[in-house]
Structure 1
Amino acid sequence: MLDEAEFDRDDAAPIDMLENYFAAHGWTYEREDDEIVAKFKGSWTEYELRAIWREDDGVLQFLGFPDIRVADDRRAAVYETIGLVNEQLWIGHFELWSASGILLFRHAALIDSAGDKTLTLDQAELLVESAIDECERFYPVFQFVLWGGKTPQDALASALIETQGEA
């Protein structure tokens, strides 16, 4: 968890706060006026994290791309997997972009507390970390379906086994 003392203030315009957050973690990122894209090395793969700010609506959309492309012949199985995985989520959802076959995690936050349209450090951390956590948690499920020959149900059961202790 980052310390609010590392920032000039505990809230900022959404893209500004995310830029501060990514910089504090030492992640590479590129920024435009209403969008920021960062790279994060997870346990399974490198993720692209993208945030898009829609000021008129007060909505910050956050996308996590786990570097998974789905071939046409595997899409039916992945759509079924997405349905099962999304039942497990409290916030956000996975989807498959039909034109490109790219799998992603998406969620959005309404940001308009009393009209100031700022994002707090706690909100930024929740937004980013929840996307990363869900991508990390379910990455093996999609890999089991795509490359391991498992059914979506078996892949989900295999990937979500709780382990005891550490190796």
Structure 2
Amino acid sequence: MSLAEDFLIGDDLHPIDLVETLAADQQWEFDRVTENQIAMAVEGLWRTYALTLAWAPQDETLRLICTFEMEPPVTRMGDLYDVINRANDQVWTGAFTYWAEQKLMVWRYGLSLAGGALAGPEQLNHMISDAISGCERYYPAFQMVSWTDQSPAEAMKVAIAEAYGRA
């Protein structure tokens, strides 16, 4: 039975239940933090990414954040923010931001499920895959601009091609 068929049988389609089943199916390490939140570790080519998906019933939004630690030198922060802006100009299904206090690079995405809309397993898998592939694609540019004297434009050249790997 496919993942989608597993959920067509039941009538409880809580989005975090779907994500938990997807994580188990993919054999990702995960922790069901609360009824409305799950945290996962997904191995990429460059590193292991921490993903958190949280259902916000008040605004009917499924929120995804994918993070990885990053501690660039203060002197390179301006260039890092420039590369983040350049990366965000190229993506449509989420956005990068840097949380300086936590020293985390963050991919953020919110899926609106207003009016009782349901997210299917394929849609959730796509959300997670987009987050991981976005991080994989731009990770080298973030690192290059942070730890070398390369300009943001030069650093972005390493992010031109799509990343391939497992997510």
| TM-score category (smaller protein) | 0.7 to 0.9
Kept in 2: contact 1:70–1:102 (CA 8 A): no
Aligned counterpart, 1:74: 76
2:27 maps to what in 1? Answer: 26
Q: 1:40 is paired with a residue of what secondary structure?
A: strand
Gaps of 5+ in 2: 163-167
CA distance in 2, matches of 1:26, 1:51: 17
**Preserved contact between residue 70 and residue 103 of structure 1 (Cα < 8 Å):** no
The sequence identity of aligned pairs, in percent, is 27
Distance 1:41 1:30 in 2: 15
Counterpart residue number, 1:92: 94
Aligned to 2:65: 63
Match of 2:123 in 1: 123
- 3-state SS of 1:132 partner: helix
CA displacement at 1:70 relative to structure 2: 3.2
Alignment of 1:101 onto 2:103: yes
RMSD of Structure 2 on Structure 1 (CA):
2.0
CA deviation map 1:146-165 (0-9, x unaligned): 12331111000133258xxx
TM-score, length-scaled by structure 2:
0.86
Uncovered stretches (5+) of structure 1, i.e. residues with no partner:
163-167
Higher helix share: 2
Residues 13 and 141 (structure 1), Cα distance of their counterparts in 2 relative to 1, 3 Å cut: same
Q: Which residue number in structure 1 is paired with residue 142 of structure 2?
A: 142
Hey, what's the Cα distance between the residues in 1 that align with 2:14 and 2:50? 21
**Distance in 2 of aligned mates of 1:140 and 1:76:** 17
Contact 1:45 1:67 survives alignment (8 Å)? no
Query: Once the 2 structures are TM-superposed, how far is the Cα of residue 105 of structure 1 from its aligned partner?
Result: 0.6
**Post-superposition CA distance 1:45-70 (Å, at most 9, x none):** 11001111101210011011133233
Letter in 2 for 1:153: A
Q: 2:165 matched to which residue of 1?
A: none
Q: TM-score, normalising length from structure 1?
A: 0.86
